[in-house]
Amino acid sequence: MRSIVLLSALLLVGCSRDENVMQEVADRPFLVQLPPGAPPLPVPAANPLTNASVELGKKLFFEKRLSDPSVVSCASCHFGNAFADTVAFSIGSNGSLGFRNAPTLANVAYQERLFMDGGIPDLEYQVLAPIHDALEMNSDINAVALLLRDEEPYKSLSLLAYGRTLDAFVITRAIASYERTLVSGWSRFDRYLYANDASALTAQELNGWNIFSSAATNCTGCHSGFDFTDRDYHNIGLTTDHSADEGRARITLVSADIGKFKTPTLRNVALTAPYMHNGSLATLEEVVDHFATGGLAQANLSPQLQPFTLTAQEKADLIAFLHALTDDRSLDQVP
């Protein structure tokens, strides 16, 4: 096994020499396996990935006592292979519905800004948002730390990972560390493009990739690069009434940003229905139909969108390509 499970090892050691060994293992860098086309993983120097930090982060990610009452964990809304939710709006711990569709956390380490409006600067800071949001976990990070800090495995892992008792500093850094390990890029499309395996895609999927990257559909105008996103914000004309959610303008307060949302990754997109910030499109067929219209006319509509026509076969091919972006292994590398 690549990494030991620290806690069970901890129970077996007593004397101080063994404790030094434990600390040495805990401090070892956690090496994330990167798929063929992946850029280097951005990890802040102030919060390096170690065996102990990612193990603690994973435990906290699945911990329902982060919420009040203790009914939802981070994983309740971001779960499974693709770390997204399957409903348009997730239900928070007090039974309320959120106002946006829970996105996949695949490749979240590469995101420059978080949330669909880009309102959050980094993963550490992001952890505070769901814990304190009344519609999500409805809790308080200091209360959570008090509740968990004297309990194993939290007590030992917190000391091993950060040399201090579990508190807001530790919780935010540990969960962010675990999230950075969720790297996606193990799909047949990756094998085709980055590992030179021409047989990895069927003829239909290959044709779908050509349609996706064609000037007519211009999908790659926004869904570009390893993670299929330009990391920019666009109004794709889903609606003309943005009173429920102004998108990027909520943060910038600039009217030219009304209705703009961050271009999402398309990795594992076959698994992450329903689609869009509000979960308003149920299937990939509906998504393609939407883009084919060019979007509803309005001041901020992206000039990169143009109406296009596909035959039924071409549409099926494009969707087959999107299905080839599904990873064929679990994104979770933390034992």
Residue whose CB is less far from ligand HEC, 207 or 263: 263
Whether 246 and 253 have beta carbons less than 8 Å apart is answered as no
Among 50, 217, 326, 333, binds ligand HEC (CB under 6 A): 217
User: What is the Cα Rg of the chain in Å?
Assistant: 21
- Is 185 a binder of ligand HEC (CB under 6 A)? no
Q: Which candidate, 133, 7, 19, places its Cα nearest to that of 58? A: 7
The yes or no reply on residue 207 touching ligand HEC (CB under 6 A) is no
Q: Phi and psi at residue 233, in whole multiples of 5°? A: -120, 135
Can residue 43 be called a binding residue for ligand HEC (CB under 6 A)? Answer: no
Determine, following the binding rule CB under 6 A, whether residue 77 of this chain makes contact with ligand HEC. Answer: yes
Hey, what amino acid is at 166? Answer: L
Chosen residue from 222, 249, 320, 324 binding ligand HEC by CB under 6 A: 222
304, 315, 294: which is closest to 207 by C-alpha?
315
Q: Which two tokens stand for residue 62?
A: 């699945």
Q: According to the binding rule CB under 6 A, does residue 264 interact with ligand HEC?
A: yes
Q: Does 269 bind ligand HEC (CB under 6 A)?
A: yes
Q: In the complex, what is the shortest distance from the CB of residue 326 to ligand HEC, in angstroms, rounded to a whole number?
A: 13
- Would you say 22 or 179 has its CB closer to ligand HEC? 179
Residue with tokens 């139909």: 289
Judged by CB under 6 A, does residue 114 bind ligand HEC?
yes
Select the residue interacting with ligand HEC from 131, 183, 206, 334 (CB under 6 A).
Answer: 131
Residue among 93, 177, 53 at smallest CA distance from 127: 177
Phi-psi region of 303 (alpha: psi -120 to 50; beta: other; left: phi over 0): alpha
Q: Using an 8 Å Cβ cutoff, are 227 and 110 in contact?
A: yes
Tell me if 57 contacts ligand HEC by CB under 6 A. Answer: no
177 SS3 class: helix
Which span sits near ligand HEC by CB under 6 A: 18-26, 43-51, 156-164, 264-272?
Answer: 264-272
User: Does 137 sit near ligand HEC (CB under 6 A)?
Assistant: yes
Shortest distance, position 49 Cβ to ligand HEC, whole Å? 15
Separation between Cα atoms, residue 73 and residue 68, nearest integer Å: 10
Catalytic residue among 136, 205, 246, 314: 136
Q: Which residues have CB under 8 Å from 240's CB, separation 6+? A: 296, 297, 298
Record the tokens describing residue 235, joined without a space: 């109004």
Which tokens sit at 86?
């399957």
Per CB under 6 A, 103 contacts ligand HEC: yes
Conformation bin of residue 57: beta by default, left when phi > 0, alpha when psi is -120 to 50: alpha
Q: Which stretch binds ligand HEC (CB under 6 A): 26-34, 40-48, 152-160, 265-273?
A: 265-273
* Cβ–Cβ < 8 Å for 132, 140: yes
At closest approach, how far in Å is the CB of 334 from ligand HEC? 14
If DSSP codes are grouped into helix, strand and coil, which group holds residue 239?
coil
Comparing CB distances to ligand HEC, the nearer of 10 and 291 is 291
Q: Figure out which of the listed residues 22, 182, 219, 331 binds ligand HEC, where binding follows CB under 6 A.
A: 219
How remote is the C-alpha of 38 from its chain's centroid?
15
Q: Does 175 bind ligand HEC (CB under 6 A)?
A: yes
Q: Does 314 participate in catalysis according to the annotation? A: no
Preceding peptide of 153 cis, ω within 30°: yes
Please tell me whether residue 141 binds ligand HEC under the rule CB under 6 A: no
Binding positions for ligand HEC, rule: CB under 6 A: 66, 72, 74, 76-78, 90, 92, 98, 100, 102-103, 105, 108, 111, 114-116, 123, 126-127, 130-131, 136-137, 175, 179, 217-219, 221-223, 234, 236, 238, 261, 263-264, 266, 269, 272, 275-277, 284, 287-288, 291, 302, 304-305
Active-site residues: which are they?
136
